[in-house]
Amino acid sequence: MIKQNDKRDFARACKVAEMVDYNWHDLRHTWASVHMQRGTPLMVLKELGGWETVAMVQKYAHLAPSHLAQHAGNVKFLSMSVEQKQKTPLSEAAQSLAA
Domain assignments of the chain as residue spans, ordered by start: 23-66
Report the amino acid identity of residue 68: L
Please choose, from the candidates 29, 20, 24, 31, the residue with its C-alpha nearest in 3D space to the C-alpha of residue 10.
24
Q: Report pLDDT digits (tens) over 3-35.
A: 777 888 888 998 999 988 888 888 888 899 999
What is this structure's pTM?
A: 0.57
> What is the identity of the amino acid at 61?
A
| pLDDT greater than 90 at residue 47 | yes
Distances (CA, A) of 76 to 16, 64, 71: 48, 22, 11
